[in-house]
Amino acid sequence: MSVIASRARRGSRFSGAVIGAVVGALTVAMVVFMWSLAATIVGGMVTTLPLGQALVLGLALGAAVGIFFDGRDAPGTVAVGSGLVLGLVYLLFTGFRPLGLETVQPVWGVGFAFLTFALSGHLVRYGLRDIDVRVARRDVIERVIVRLLRGFGFSFFTLIILFPFWYMLSASLKSRAAMLRDPANLAIEFGLGFSTLIRGYVEVLFTFDFLRFIGNSGLVAFVTMVVTLVMAVLGAYAVTRLAFPGRTFLSRSILLIYMFPAIVLVIPLYAVFTQLGLRNTLPGLLIVYPATTIPVALYMLRSYFQTLPKDLEEAGLIDGCTRAQVIWRITLPLSMPAIASVGLYVFMIAWNEFLFAFMFLDNPAIFTLPRGMVMLNSQEVPRQYLMAGAMIITVPIMLLFFWFEKYLVGGLTAGGVKG
Amino acid sequence: MAVRRTTLAAREARLAYWMLAPTFVVILAIVLFPVLLNVWLSFKPVTLGDLRAPVPVANERVMQTPDTAGDELVLRLTMRNGSQRVTLFGVVWEKTLPPGLTLTTVDPRCTQEGAIVTCTFGDWEGGYRETLELAFRAGPEYFEEGAPDVRDAPTDMRARAENVLTNFVFTLENYARVLTGSDFWPTLRTTLMYTFFSSVGSILLGLFAAQLLNSSFVGQGVLRGLFLFPYVAPVIAVAFVWAFFLDPFSGTVNALGQRWELLDGPVNFLGQRSVDVSLFGLSFALPLALATVIAFSSWNYFPFAFLFILARLQAVPVDMYEAADVDGAGPFQKFWYITLPSLAGVLAVLFLLRFMFLINKFEDIFLLTGGAAGTKNLPVMIYDEAFGRADIGVGSAVAMILFLVLLLFLFIYYRFAPEAER
């Protein structure tokens, strides 16, 4: 015990300072990057990316925290305190110009510099917690790297997911002139007034008739969902519960059918539907959509039915129920979660479907939303309107998705074969 | 007893067939039949214009107008087969004349019965043209009616045509044109590169994301939902968003990159075929637009890999990691010797599934670049040939080639994927 302790004491300060400095430099660089980015695209401020400054300051901050790291933790006062001290030093040297901002803004500057450094000190301490940095053993280094990767990973994924959606929202509220003046500024200018902000939405909904397209898309997606569910429930039940010649073969070929690509089907369907007069019609789409979703729905429901106990249904049959009654009264109520998830999944596919809508529909009266988006994509229409259209097509499916997220995640995994 | 059991089994089988019948009919009509029709079309000379039934077309022109009763009215008919390729059978031109006009031209093909003049032309090959002048003697009644314009009188022109889809005209030229065209091999190469790197990219991102979320912490559920956003959002919406923020002049990425001095000048991410990159002293040409499209597809489909891998990760027994801890294994060793081997199966299946779906992916590339700047893949080529150049036959031939490549991978999948993962 005493041997270990003394060795740890001997090696501790230096090793702790080095590991802390590396972690500190990367942490402050990350924090500054995220701050600069947020300040620009959310706050609309003019920023630089002072990565060099950030790395140097981070080295100092991390070393300070690392030196005080005692076994499993460093005192919080040290972490936040050294951050505050460093922030003060930095501010004094730069004449109160905060890290990353182009302009001198005393109130913002002071607050932010202190916040950045205090937060970074805390993050360094938090990132190293429970790791004995006093000894630079291989597993210690590895654990530090894993922590850094986790920190990087969370920032990275948050960024790549939120940025496109922030862009969509912000661009839908921004005039062409504002967008060209400063493309980096994605701040929402509330000062313009509500009616100016939502001009794109008003135009798209009323002038470009998206209100009607919402109805068309909703109708198509809903009918597709109902038709698919009815057929898939019947089919999946037959495949899992009834014995018939060809059952194994059928069960195996379901997924195979699903792999048949839409792009290969589109030319022949276009040719036939043109000759039958079905091409430029909603019924035409309503024939194609269920056909493309039934296999995966059947596959997902089959997987679920296989997990349901047979005994209940057999008891029902012995008690004199017909098959139809058994399905209606026993199987369906038991599989509501699966049916909900499959239904949502199918609804999502139909709502988002682009290829067939794009190929088949010429008549604006029956456009679905994705087809309407193609119509908006022209030189004459401002991008603001296109982004408003993107919001209109995205938000409903997102809301639906968040509302039923629990079900949908299960459905996506089960049907997760589809791209 | 035996008889009764057979009837029960037969009844069950009959019920099963009835329950499967609607699905079967729909799949047959909308999936299997089109695939067969595609094979058929790929051997036929069909253009987009041929899909509408071909009709004979006639232009009428009055060459001579009568001034008084007894004069002649001369009508010139310029007629052609509206299709360049399809033969028309039994072409008939029929006109109900205004009163007082009598056909004087002697032509065995044309007869007059009452007010109706009928000319029968027989069969016209594709692109056939015919000009015919018909003379009529105008009687007094014609002038009593106020000498109406003969062109306004009701005309009926009709013919029978073979359906271009069902006739027996075949050609190998579609395949010859595809395989010898300068477009095909580069497109195939792009397709394979796009498919491979997008599959790998989405799986790597998914693996990373799954590792991050494979521990319970506050906000894990929200983050998991957030991570699925790119997949749930309609591709047409997010593709436009990417195209706009990557725009060289009015895009946020370029504006920020230049302001932060990370980029020397505006970069046309989606419009530049290739850019020279030097990294660690090695310089190579990066196919920029293709790389951007691959980044988009990796981003768009990583949630999927993420869900799959997360589900599998949560099934890895905890005691394996505990045993590794006892043995003093570091996190990298645990990842390399426990996590990755446990995921090997699911990663292989994911790769094959992603590969099979991405090889057919049309929307992503079509919406981002339209196939320009070296990003054209086979699905976009199908669209270009069949609808851009209006050659259904060539488009079908490309589709057939794509389908064969896909079948190859389907075969690999069914051969090697474990039963449980199918």
pLDDT (mean) for A125-143 = 82
Asked if residue B363 and residue B234 are part of one domain, the reply reads yes
The answer to whether A354 contacts B35, with C-beta atoms less than 8 Å apart, is: no
Asked if residue B215 and residue B157 are part of one domain, the reply reads no
Task: Specify if A190 maps to a domain.
Answer: no
Q: How many domains does chain A have?
A: 2
Give yes or no for residue A108 having a pLDDT over 80: no
Asked if residue B226 and residue B98 are part of one domain, the reply reads no
Distance, CA of A213 to CA of A236 (rounded, Å): 33
- Residue (of A31, A12, A240) closest to A123 by Cα position: A31
Tokens representing B349?
Answer: 């299946």
Q: At what angle do helices A336-352 and A282-307 cross, to 10 degrees?
A: 150
Distance, CA of B356 to CA of B352 (rounded, Å): 6
From the CA of A2, how many Å to the nearest CA of chain B? 22
Task: Specify if B313 maps to a domain.
Answer: yes
Distance, CA of A300 to CA of A417 (rounded, Å): 10
Q: What is the pLDDT of residue A394?
A: 95
Looking at the DSSP bridge assignments, the partners of residue B120 are B92
Instruction: Sort residue A100 into left (φ over 0), alpha (ψ -120 to 50) or beta.
Output: left
Q: Which residues of B touch A300 (CB under 8 A)?
A: none
Name the DSSP letter for residue B53.
P
Contact A359, A270 (CB under 8 A): yes
> Which residues have C-beta within 8 Å of that of residue A6, sequence separation ≥ 6?
none
Burial of B319 (C-beta count, 10 Å sphere; 0-12/13-18/19+): exposed
- Phi first, then psi, for residue A182 (nearest 5°) are -150, 95
Asked if residue A347 and residue A304 are part of one domain, the reply reads yes
Closest residue, chain A, to B310 (C-alpha): A413
**CB < 8 Å from A in window 318-377 of B:** 328, 330-332, 353-354, 356-363, 367
Task: Specify if B289 maps to a domain.
Answer: yes
Q: What is the pLDDT of residue A416?
A: 47
Q: At what angle do helices A405-414 and A282-307 cross, to 10 degrees?
A: 90
Q: What is the pLDDT of residue A87?
A: 82
Asked if residue B139 and residue B96 are part of one domain, the reply reads yes
Q: What is the pLDDT of residue B50?
A: 77
Asked if residue A157 and residue A292 are part of one domain, the reply reads no
What is the dihedral angle through the alpha carbons of B317, B319, B323, B325, rounded to the nearest 10 degrees?
90
Q: What is the pLDDT of residue B412?
A: 83
- Phi first, then psi, for residue B117 (nearest 5°) are -100, 130
How far is the CA of B84 from the CAs of A185, B79, B125, B127, B379, in angstroms?
56, 13, 8, 4, 28
Q: Which residues of A touch B304 (CB under 8 A)?
A: 412, 416, 419
Helical H segments across B277-391, by residue range: 288-313, 318-326, 331-334, 340-358, 363-368, 378-383
Task: Specify if A192 maps to a domain.
Answer: no
- Residue (of A355, A288, A354) closest to B26 by Cα position: A288
**What percent of chain B clears pLDDT 70, i.e. is strictly above it?**
97
What is the DSSP code string of A76-101? HHHHHHHHHHHHHHHHHHHTS--TTB
- Assess B236–A contact: CB distance below 8 Å, yes or no: yes
How far is the CA of B134 from the CAs of A53, A248, B65, B342, in angstroms?
94, 71, 12, 87
Asked if residue A128 and residue A269 are part of one domain, the reply reads no
Give yes or no for residue B284 having a pLDDT over 90: no
pLDDT (mean) for A50-74 = 83
- Residue (of B202, B188, B201) closest to B377 by Cα position: B188
Q: What is the pLDDT of residue A370?
A: 95
Asked if residue B415 and residue B270 are part of one domain, the reply reads yes
- Residue (of B290, B282, B277) closest to B197 by Cα position: B290
Contact B163, B59 (CB under 8 A): no
- Assess B411–A contact: CB distance below 8 Å, yes or no: no
Least confident of A129-138, A269-278, B68-77, B119-128: A129-138
**What is the layout of strands, in order, in the sheet containing B129-138?**
B56-64, B72-81, B129-138, B101-103
Task: Specify if A183 maps to a domain.
Answer: no
From the CA of B13, how many Å to the nearest CA of chain A? 4
In this prediction, the answer to ipTM > 0.85 reads: yes
Give yes or no for residue B388 having a pLDDT over 60: yes
Burial of B222 (C-beta count, 10 Å sphere; 0-12/13-18/19+): exposed
Q: Angle at CA B166, nearest 5°, toward B165 and B171?
A: 70
Contact B196, B355 (CB under 8 A): yes
Distance, CA of B337 to CA of B341 (rounded, Å): 6
Give yes or no for residue A140 having a pLDDT over 90: no
Q: What is the pLDDT of residue A406?
A: 67
Task: Specify if A325 maps to a domain.
Answer: yes
pLDDT (mean) for B330-338 = 87
Asked if residue A373 and residue A235 are part of one domain, the reply reads yes
Asked if residue B201 and residue B134 are part of one domain, the reply reads no
Asked if residue B148 and residue B100 are part of one domain, the reply reads yes
Task: Specify if A196 maps to a domain.
Answer: no
Task: Specify if B395 maps to a domain.
Answer: yes
Distance, CA of A134 to CA of A12 (rounded, Å): 4
The answer to whether A398 contacts B208, with C-beta atoms less than 8 Å apart, is: no
Q: What is the CATH number of the domain that holds B364?
A: 1.10.3720.10
- Which secondary-structure segment (H or E) carries B139? none
Q: How many domains does chain B have?
A: 3
Closest residue, chain A, to B230 (C-alpha): A161
Q: What is the pLDDT of residue A414?
A: 54
Q: What is the CATH number of the domain that holds B144?
A: 2.60.40.290
Asked if residue A128 and residue A81 are part of one domain, the reply reads yes
What SS3 class is residue B97? coil
Q: What is the pLDDT of residue B52?
A: 76
Distance, CA of A204 to CA of A384 (rounded, Å): 10
Tokens representing B416?
Answer: 């090697």
Cα atoms in the 13 Å half-sphere on the side-chain side of A400: 21
Asked if residue A207 and residue A174 are part of one domain, the reply reads no
Asked if residue A344 and residue A259 are part of one domain, the reply reads yes
The answer to whether B236 contacts A370, with C-beta atoms less than 8 Å apart, is: yes
Distance, CA of B197 to CA of B297 (rounded, Å): 9
Task: Specify if A390 maps to a domain.
Answer: yes
Q: Which residues of B touch A171 (CB under 8 A)?
A: 241, 244
Question: In the structure, what pLDDT confidence band is assigned to residue A268 with cuts at 50, 70 and 90?
Answer: very high
**What percent of chain A clears pLDDT 70, i.e. is strictly above it?**
90
pLDDT (mean) for B193-217 = 92
Question: In the structure, what pLDDT confidence band is assigned to residue A76 with cuts at 50, 70 and 90?
Answer: confident
Selected residue of A32, A46, A159, A263 to mutate for chain B interface (largest B Cβ count, 10 A): A263
Asked if residue B187 and residue B156 are part of one domain, the reply reads no
Tokens representing B180?
Answer: 């010898």
Burial of A9 (C-beta count, 10 Å sphere; 0-12/13-18/19+): exposed
Asked if residue A231 and residue A119 are part of one domain, the reply reads no
- Assess A374–B contact: CB distance below 8 Å, yes or no: yes
- Assess B244–A contact: CB distance below 8 Å, yes or no: yes
Domain boundary among A122, A146, A178: A178
Asked if residue A20 and residue A93 are part of one domain, the reply reads yes
Give the best-scoring range by mean pLDDT among A347-361, B98-112, B402-416.
A347-361
Give yes or no for residue B1 having a pLDDT over 50: no
What is the DSSP code string of A228-240? HHHHHHHHHHHHH
Q: At what angle do helices A138-172 and B220-227 cross, to 10 degrees?
A: 60
Contact B81, B121 (CB under 8 A): no
Instruction: Give the mean pLDDT of chain B.
Output: 87
Contact B200, B351 (CB under 8 A): yes
Asked if residue B396 and residue B356 are part of one domain, the reply reads yes
The answer to whether B395 contacts A402, with C-beta atoms less than 8 Å apart, is: no
Give yes or no for residue A418 having a pLDDT over 50: no
How far is the CA of B33 from the CAs of A218, A272, B398, in angstroms?
29, 10, 18
pLDDT (mean) for B79-92 = 84
Give yes or no for residue B24 having a pLDDT over 60: yes
Task: Specify if B99 maps to a domain.
Answer: yes
At A215-246, the pLDDT tens digits run 999 999 999 999 999 999 999 999 988 888 88
How far is the CA of B323 from the CAs of A344, B314, B319, B328, in angstroms?
42, 17, 6, 9
Contact B115, B99 (CB under 8 A): yes
Question: In the structure, what pLDDT confidence band is assigned to residue A12 with cuts at 50, 70 and 90?
Answer: low
Give yes or no for residue A274 having a pLDDT over 60: yes
Give yes or no for residue B421 having a pLDDT over 70: no
Task: Specify if A387 maps to a domain.
Answer: yes
Task: Specify if A188 maps to a domain.
Answer: no
Q: What is the pLDDT of residue A417?
A: 47
Distance, CA of A334 to CA of A328 (rounded, Å): 10
Domain extent at residue A68: 2-178
Asked if residue A108 and residue A51 are part of one domain, the reply reads yes
Distance, CA of A292 to CA of A262 (rounded, Å): 8
Helical H segments across A198-246, by residue range: 199-202, 210-241
Contact A413, B353 (CB under 8 A): no
Asked if residue B78 and residue B183 are part of one domain, the reply reads no
Tokens representing A416?
Answer: 């997760």
Name the DSSP letter for residue B375.
T
**What percent of chain B clears pLDDT 90, i.e. is strictly above it?**
29
- Residue (of A307, A325, A306, A305) closest to A315 by Cα position: A325
For B23, the closest of A235, A393, A398 (CB atoms) is A235
Looking at the DSSP bridge assignments, the partners of residue B60 are B77
What SS3 class is residue A243? coil
User: Which is more confidently placed, A104 or A144?
Assistant: A144
User: Which is more confidently placed, A215 or B220?
Assistant: A215
Distance, CA of A156 to CA of B226 (rounded, Å): 13
Distance, CA of A373 to CA of A390 (rounded, Å): 7
pLDDT (mean) for B178-187 = 91
Domain boundary among B161, B186, B202: B161
Q: How many contacts (CB atoms, under 8 Å) link A and B?
A: 286
Cα atoms in the 13 Å half-sphere on the side-chain side of A66: 26
Asked if residue B399 and residue B254 are part of one domain, the reply reads yes
Cα atoms in the 13 Å half-sphere on the side-chain side of A37: 19
From the CA of A65, how many Å to the nearest CA of chain B? 24
Tokens representing A50?
Answer: 């002072």
What is the dihedral angle through the alpha carbons of A292, A294, A295, A297, rounded to the nearest 10 degrees?
120
Q: What is the pLDDT of residue A109?
A: 65
Distance, CA of A69 to CA of A15 (rounded, Å): 10
- Residue (of A414, A44, A86) closest to A36 by Cα position: A44
How far is the CA of B395 from the CAs of B214, B399, B402, in angstroms?
46, 6, 11
Distance, CA of A196 to CA of A202 (rounded, Å): 10
The answer to whether B402 contacts A374, with C-beta atoms less than 8 Å apart, is: no
Cα atoms in the 13 Å half-sphere on the side-chain side of B126: 12
Asked if residue A383 and residue A301 are part of one domain, the reply reads yes
Distance, CA of B351 to CA of B341 (rounded, Å): 15
Q: Which residues of B touch A408 (CB under 8 A)?
A: 232
Distance, CA of A152 to CA of B218 (rounded, Å): 18
From the CA of A341, how many Å to the nearest CA of chain B? 14
**CB < 8 Å from A in window 34-93 of B:** 34-35, 37-38, 41, 46, 51-53
Domain extent at residue B400: 176-421
User: Which is more confidently placed, B238 or B158?
Assistant: B238
Dihedral sign from CA coordinates of B232, B234, B235, B241:
negative
Task: Specify if B171 maps to a domain.
Answer: no
Q: Which residues of A touch B43 (CB under 8 A)?
A: none
Asked if residue A236 and residue A91 are part of one domain, the reply reads no
Question: In the structure, what pLDDT confidence band is assigned to residue A11 with cuts at 50, 70 and 90?
Answer: low
Tokens representing A31?
Answer: 């924090």
Tokens representing B354?
Answer: 């992603």
Asked if residue B386 and residue B271 are part of one domain, the reply reads yes
Domain boundary among A178, A193, A227: A178
